[in-house]
A and B are shown apart, each in its own frame.
Chain A
Amino acid sequence: MLFLFWCAHEFVPFRLPEFQSLCHLFRIPYRLQSGREDTPFVILELDSESQAQKILSRSICTKHCIHLWGQGNSYEEFHSSLKSFQFKDYSDLLNENKSFKVNVEAFQKKISISERSERIESMEYFPVQGPVDLKNPDVVYSFLEDWGQDGNNLPPAPYNIFFGRNIGEGQRHLITKLSIKKRKFIGNTTMDPQLSLLMANLGQVENGSFVLDPFVGTGSLLIAAAEFKGITFGGDIDFLTLHARSKPSRKGDKKRGDDESMVANFRQYGLTVHYGDVIACDFSKSPWRSGLQFETILTDPPYGIREAMTKVGTEKDYTNQSIPEKYLKTHIPEKVNYSLKDILEDLLNFSAERLSIGGRLVYWIPIIRQEYKEELLPSHPSLSLLHNCEQVLSSNTSRRLIVMSKFSNEKGKAVVYEKITNFKDQFYIPLAGNIGRKERKERVKEHGHLNISQEDMVKFHGRSNQHKMKLEAKMAENT
C-alpha cells in the first residue's frame, strides 16, 4: 500500500530522517518510494493503514497523509493508474451511505473553481455512490497536482498527479501548543518548539524512555521529550538559569516572575508526570551512578558567546590541600575554559558509556560551510552516525543536527578534530534560535537560508554595553 505524506515546507533536510526514525521506532520497514527535497510529498510503501497511523501519531513534518489510490506523471498515466485500483475492496467507503468530498490542490499553480470541478469530473469512472457533503463529509479524498517549485515559471503540465483518501494528520498542532510566546519560563537558549520536537523524534523518545539533556538550560528539549512521554532529566552548570533567576530574555520583562521555573513549564502543558528532575552539575564531572543508562540524550551544547563554556577546575594545585574550611560556605567554584572540542569529546564518550544499546544521541554542531566535510564530524568506535541534518544560517555558517546510535559496549575514545571546532563566526549560531518562525520562513524563502547578518548580531548581542564592546572588538579582529 502506498501512503503519501504531504509535508510542511520547513526544515526539509529533517524530513526523511524523521520518517526513518519513526519507522524504526515502530518497527516498520522503511520503504521510500519517493521523497525529493523540492516537493512537499513523501511516499512510503507500508503494509497497512495502522502503520501509517503510527507514523502520524508522532510526525512533525507531516501535514496530512493520504492512502494513495492512483498516481502518474501525466493525466493519462494518472487515470490509467487510478482506474486499475481495487475499488471493490473499499466498497464500505464508497457506498451510498457515506457522504464525501474531494479536495483539489494544485501546488504552485492557481486554479479556479471550475478547473477544480473539471479535475473531479475527469474521474467519471470513480465508483463513489454516496452524496457530496462539503461541510461534514464521512470520507475526504484528495486530488493533488505537483507543478514544481516556481510559481512564476510553471511547466506546461504538472509533474505529478495523485489521488487518494485522507487518513489523518501529523502532530504539527504541537508546535502551536508548545509555542515559546506563551511559555512561562524561557531564555536566550530556548530551542524552537518545532526543532525540539524533531529532535525528540530523531532520538526515538517513547513512553518511559530515560531522556537526558546534559546542558539543559531552560528545559526546552525536555519539554518535547516529555510530550512524547519520556521521563526527562537535565543537568546544567548554570545554577541561576536552573532556578529561573537569570535575567529575563523576554522583551519588556524587567525581572522574572515568581512563578517562573523549569517545572512550571511542564505544569503549563500538563506534562508534570514526565518531569524527572534537573540537577546543578558539571558535565565533565557528572553525578550519575555507574551502570545507569539513558535511552536518549538530546542536547544543544554551549558553543560560544551566548553561554559561557566552562567547567569546574583550576590552575592551582589541590592535590595535597583543600580550600580552607572558613571559606567553604561562600566559595564559588573556580571555572576554567571548556573548549567546544572538549565538550564534544566528553559528550560522545559520555553517550558511548551511558546510552543503552540502540539508544540515541542527538546534538547540534556549529559549522563553517566552506570547511565542512562529513569525515570531520566527531566520531566514536561505539557510536554510528545515522543522520546529519543541516540548518543553514548564513552563506558561510550553518548548524547540523547529528544523530548517533550506540551499537556496542566496547570501550573506546571519541575523536574530535580541532578543525571542525575552530571557527571565528560562532557568534552567528545563537541567533538561529532567536529568529521568529514567520521571519525565518521569509528569510529562507528569499535567501535560501537564514541570512544572519552583522546587523542582526549587533542587535541581538548588543543588549548591554559590555556585550556590545566585546562584540565590536571581535568583529574588528576578524575583518
Chain B
Amino acid sequence: MKLLTHNMLTSKAIKQVNTGYPLLIEARDVKVSEVEFNPEFIAKIIPKVDWDCLRRAAEQLGHLDKIPASVPDTYENQQEFLKQAHHVLLEIELINGDLVCPESNRKFPVTDGIPNMLLREDEI
C-alpha cells in the first residue's frame, strides 16, 4: 500500500465513527522501491493529497525527513519538490502492518501490500 493510497482511506463506514481519518499506521514491513518519475503525472496527483496526513504517515513509517513541510504555490514547475513528492507518495510502501481507526482503534490489516478494509457485520 502506497502512502498515496493511505491518504485516501477512512474508517468512517464503521457505525459511530465520525471522521475516521487519518488512519494511524503500525508498520511491520516497509519497502522502498524505484518508480519511474513523471513530473506531469505527479503534478496532477498533488491537488488530491492531504499534505498533513501524508506527513504524519511518512513519520510513522520513519521517512519524515524525505518530505517537504508543505506544497509550494508553483509546485507544478518545481522539479525538486515534485521528485520528493513522487518518492513519498509512490515509492514507499507498507507491505505488512495495520491501519488503525483513530476513533475506535479498530485495526485493518495490510497483507502483501493489500489493505483489508472489510468490515464485520456488527460494525456497519
Contacts and interface: CB of A to CB of B under 8 A. Distances in A.
Given A314-B121, A321-B122, A333-B119, A243 B8 contact: no
Contact of B124 (A289, A290, A313, A331): A313
A384 B29 CA distance: 45
Contacts of B50: 289
A447 interface: no
A282 B121 CA distance: 11
* 7 nearest CB pairs, A to B: A208-B44, A318-B122, A314-B121, A285-B13, A277-B5, A287-B117, A289-B10
30 contacts: A207-B38, A207-B41, A207-B44, A210-B45, A229-B41, A231-B45, A243-B111, A273-B35, A276-B2, A276-B4, A276-B5, A277-B4, A277-B115, A280-B114, A282-B118, A287-B9, A287-B10, A287-B13, A287-B115, A287-B117, A289-B10, A289-B50, A290-B10, A293-B48, A312-B119, A314-B122, A318-B122, A322-B123, A323-B121, A333-B120
B43 interface: yes
A370 B50 CA distance: 50
Contacts of A279: 5, 9, 114-117
B9 A231 contact: no
A334 B8 CA distance: 26
A313 B123 CA distance: 9
Contact of A280 (B8, B38, B118, B121): B118
Contact of B122 (A281, A285, A322): A322
B121 A237 contact: no
Interface centre among A231, A233, A243, A318 (most CB of B within 10 A): A231
Interface string B25-54: 000000000011010111111001010000
B66 interface: no
A207 B44 CA distance: 8
Given A273-B38, A289-B8, A290-B12, A263 B120 contact: no
Nearest to B5: A277
Contacts of A288: 8-10
Contacts of A272: 35-36
Between A242, A243, A261, A312, the greatest number of chain B beta carbons within 10 A of the residue's beta carbon is seen for A312
Contacts, number: 113
A476 interface: no
A331 B120 contact: yes
B41 A243 contact: no
B1 A277 contact: yes
Contacts of B44: 207-209
B10 A208 contact: no
Contact of B114 (A210, A278, A292): A278
Interface in A277-334: 277-282, 285-290, 292-293, 312-314, 316, 318, 321-323, 328, 331, 333-334
A286 B13 contact: yes
A239 interface: yes
A110 to B, nearest CB: 49
A333 B121 contact: yes
B96 interface: no
B90 interface: yes
B59 interface: no
B109 to A, nearest CB: 9
